[in-house]
Amino acid sequence: MTVPLLSQLFGRPLQRQQEEAKTLPSIQALPILSSDALSSVAYATDAALGVLILAGSGALRLSLPITLTIIALIGIVVLSYRQTIKAYPQGGGAYVVGRENLGTTASLVAAASLLIDYVLTAAVSLMAGTQALSSLWPGLLHAEVPIALLLLVLVGWANLRGAREAGRLFALPTYSFVAMVSVLALAGIQNLITSHGFTPDPPSLVKAAEPLGLFLILRAFSSGCSAMTGIEAIANGVQLFRTPSAQRARSTLLVMGLMLSAMFLAVSGLGFMYGIGPHDDVTVMAQLGMRVFGTNSPLLWVLQITTLLILMLAANTAFADFPRLSALLARDNFLPRQMAWVGDRLVFQNGILFLLLATGAIIVICQGNTTVAVNLYALGVFLAFTLSQAGMVVHWWRERGEGWWRHALMNGIGSLCTCLVLVVIVISKFAEGAWTVVIAIPVLVLMLARIRRRYRRVFAELELQPGDAVDLRLPVRTEPIGNCSIVWIPVWSKPALQALRYAATVSDRVIAVWVRPDDGDPEPLRHAWQRSVGDNPRFELQILESPYASLITPFVDFVETVEASDPDQTLTIVMPIAIPRYRFDSLLLNQRAINMRQALDQRHNRVFTMVRYYLPT
């Protein structure tokens, strides 16, 4: 019953040949990768107004100049990232660009910044979505945390089903939100032309709690820059697009930038004209809907429901990019390797599950209140912006192709502008919680670097050196034993050779099995086998292909086939295990072996032998 139930919940396994199932047309890729950026118009204006109001209602007049400045910055960043996609058509996130152009440390800083920002993206989006709902139904104010957690589970479930499922699920709400903001803008402009006029209404009188100065204006600007989070997602997710992926990604990024700018200007502009200010229980978007559509209009309900859905789905940008970035780090040995495992639905399921837990923790800690999280929201992404664009300047300088200086100039302007904004955010938001991110980023960088150092030491101990080949001949037995051993070979290493040695002492026949991963080359293994084992007829090497992402199922199926071919023979499954010296190593080693043992246990009772190799360091 377990397998059918999982298939119903998450879908049947996809074959590797169905890689096209992971790619999407632009019309479906846009809502997956742009829902974070597009949805930010629902709370970015609130964030800026919430700071300006501290200087009194008269300071709200600065919201429009701040909005125009942010829109100009959006244009610069969009054009800069179009350059990045051109240079890195396989996907040019800040980590990849930093690694190849600025060095390991810079790339880890960018990666740590984005990992933190993706968690905050998911949490803030879901909490803001519940606020949109409670603006419509004030009775739900006390249920915001469980509602946000429920939405989190739904988003995670959709992503575990795969990219195609997420695209189908998220396309309609995203485009519905864009359509409703467009209707709101057109209805508001019509009202301004036909009856209201273009003289702004004065906002409700609020006394100043702080003086209006440069520092407060910069704080409001940095809060409004939350509208820019998520812009880099398309550059990170180029491989999600159907071919020609780079061309589609560049066009989609431009469309997304135009849509974001237009909607942000519409919300802030109408709010300025109607004298709308921040409210503790009612969002600016809801206040605009009440003013333009009327408090009892069905259009107000549609606006708020689509706002809820887009904010819920905005978390999907994090679910699209956090697992992908984690997999890149894992492949470079900066994170445990299981973060790079591809699930049956061709998604990085461990990254999705980790993000689910981390986001849920943030929601519970913040108790559904976005105020604290928004103060931390933009710091990480602007640090990644800056490093990515600086890396692109170095890239163009090294390439020096035709017109390279124009590309370098564009990315240089983008890097300079985002660096200035980063400085503003750190200074203006430091006391409001940004200090936690300032501390968390270097701590995370040190952790990533430590993981890689440990992997290097462990691999150096496990790897077989060329000089060891003379001593690796396996023992030969002449008397029959009546036993067959199947040795699982995850990688050709000292533990694998030790397992083969043991199998040779207890079996007449030894079958070594290696399941080839998607990017695995069998030739080095064949050469190593010939060098170490030779042509001994008692030993056999089987290289299995896996039509699916799983490397466990082919081995389990092979064991069942051998067992069924001769039910009377004694069959021993031999599994090499590296025993770590430190408890921390348990997260880095043997995870696939543990899953393999569990999968075999679920099928039948067999004879298992764990051959332990103790790491000396």
Any idea which residue has 């849920």 for tokens? 360
> Does position 523 have pLDDT exceeding 90, yes or no?
no
Q: How far apart are CA 529 and CA 540, in angstroms?
A: 10
Q: How far apart are CA 366 and CA 265, in angstroms?
A: 29
pLDDT, residue 345, reads 57
Same domain, 527 and 589: yes
Element containing residue 81 per DSSP (H, E): helix 63-87
Q: What integer best gives the mean pLDDT of the chain?
A: 80
Any idea which residue has 């909607």 for tokens? 263
Nearest to 571 by CA among 559, 580, 579, 587: 559
Residue type at 428?
A: S
Length of the chain: 617
Q: Once rounded to an integer, what is the mean pLDDT over residues 354-374?
A: 81
**pLDDT tens digit sequence for 189-231:** 999 998 888 888 888 877 877 888 888 888 888 888 878 877 8
Task: Give the largest Cα separation in the chain, rounded.
Answer: 102
Same domain, 206 and 308: yes
> Does position 185 have pLDDT exceeding 60, yes or no?
yes
The token pair at 228 is 């820019």
Same domain, 41 and 140: yes
> Does position 92 have pLDDT exceeding 80, yes or no?
no
Task: Classify residue 294 by its DSSP letter.
Answer: -
Domain that holds residue 535: 466-614
Query: Which residues have a Cβ under 8 Å from the Cβ of 332 and sit 6 or more positions away?
Result: 99, 452
- In terms of pLDDT, which residue wins out, 584 or 203? 203
Residue type at 271?
A: G
Same domain, 549 and 594: yes
> Does position 141 have pLDDT exceeding 60, yes or no?
yes
**Burial (CB count <10 Å: 0-12, 13-18, 19+), residue 251:** middle
**Burial (CB count <10 Å: 0-12, 13-18, 19+), residue 114:** buried
Same domain, 219 and 321: yes
**pLDDT tens digit sequence for 407-445:** 888 888 888 888 888 888 888 778 777 788 888 899 999
Same domain, 279 and 407: yes
Same domain, 356 and 481: no
**pLDDT tens digit sequence for 495-514:** 888 888 888 888 878 888 88
Q: How far apart are CA 529 and CA 249, in angstroms?
A: 45
**What ranges in 332-433 are assigned the alpha helix state H?**
349-366, 370-399, 404-429
- Most confident range (mean pLDDT) of 44-58, 166-180, 253-267 is 253-267
Instruction: Flag whether 1 is in a domain.
Output: no
Query: How many domains would you assign to the chain?
Result: 2
Residue 240 pLDDT grade (very low, low, confident, very high; cuts 50, 70, 90)? confident
Instruction: Flag whether 294 is in a domain.
Output: yes
Residue 269 neighbours by CB distance under 10 Å: 20
Q: Once rounded to an integer, what is the mean pLDDT over residues 479-490?
A: 78
Residue 181 pLDDT grade (very low, low, confident, very high; cuts 50, 70, 90)? very high
Same domain, 447 and 471: no
Same domain, 537 and 388: no
Same domain, 19 and 145: yes
Q: Phi and psi of 207, rounded to 5°?
A: -75, 150
The token pair at 415 is 């890097």
Task: Give the residue from 452, 484, 500 where a domain finishes.
Answer: 452
Instruction: Flag whether 6 is in a domain.
Output: no
The answer to whether 608 and 573 are in contact (CB under 8 A) is: yes
SS3 for 557?
A: helix
Instruction: Flag whether 344 is in a domain.
Output: yes
Same domain, 445 and 471: no
**What ranges in 243-369 are assigned the alpha helix state H?**
245-273, 284-293, 298-331, 349-366
pLDDT, residue 587, reads 67
pLDDT, residue 604, reads 58
Q: How far apart are CA 268 and CA 252, in angstroms?
A: 24
Angle at 87 between CA 82 and CA 88, to 5 degrees: 95
Question: Which region among 54-68, 274-288, 365-379 has the lowest average model confidence (pLDDT)?
Answer: 365-379
Q: Phi and psi of 517, rounded to 5°?
A: -70, 175
The answer to whether 613 and 577 are in contact (CB under 8 A) is: yes
The answer to whether 539 and 533 are in contact (CB under 8 A) is: yes
Element containing residue 149 per DSSP (H, E): helix 144-160
CATH of the domain at 415: 1.20.1740.10
Instruction: Flag whether 343 is in a domain.
Output: yes
Residue 4 pLDDT grade (very low, low, confident, very high; cuts 50, 70, 90)? very low
Pairing between β-strand 509-516 and β-strand 539-545 as defined by DSSP bridges = parallel
pLDDT, residue 505, reads 81
Same domain, 331 and 444: yes
- In terms of pLDDT, which residue wins out, 344 or 353? 353
Residue 453 pLDDT grade (very low, low, confident, very high; cuts 50, 70, 90)? confident
Task: Give the residue from 424, 452, 480 where a domain finishes.
Answer: 452
pLDDT, residue 260, reads 93
The token pair at 271 is 């709010």
CATH of the domain at 494: 3.40.50.620
The answer to whether 593 and 495 are in contact (CB under 8 A) is: no
The answer to whether 568 and 558 are in contact (CB under 8 A) is: no
Q: Once rounded to an integer, what is the mean pLDDT over residues 178-199?
A: 90
Residue 194 neighbours by CB distance under 10 Å: 8
Distance of CA 379 to the CA centre of its chain: 17
> Does position 9 have pLDDT exceeding 60, yes or no?
no
Q: Once rounded to an integer, what is the mean pLDDT over residues 68-93?
A: 85
Distance of CA 320 to the CA centre of its chain: 5
Instruction: Flag whether 137 is in a domain.
Output: yes
pLDDT, residue 167, reads 55
Q: How far is residue 540 from each of residues 14, 581, 617, measured CA to CA in Å?
A: 30, 33, 33
pLDDT, residue 585, reads 67
> Does position 590 have pLDDT exceeding 80, yes or no?
no
Task: Classify residue 467 by its DSSP letter.
Answer: G
The token pair at 546 is 């896996």
pLDDT, residue 163, reads 53
Instruction: Flag whether 42 is in a domain.
Output: yes
> Does position 600 have pLDDT exceeding 80, yes or no?
no
Residue type at 202?
A: P
Pairing between β-strand 509-516 and β-strand 570-579 as defined by DSSP bridges = unpaired
**pLDDT tens digit sequence for 380-414:** 878 888 898 899 899 888 888 777 888 888 888 88
Instruction: Flag whether 333 is in a domain.
Output: yes
pLDDT, residue 212, reads 81
Task: Give the residue from 390, 419, 452 where a domain finishes.
Answer: 452
Q: Once rounded to an integer, what is the mean pLDDT over residues 92-103?
A: 84
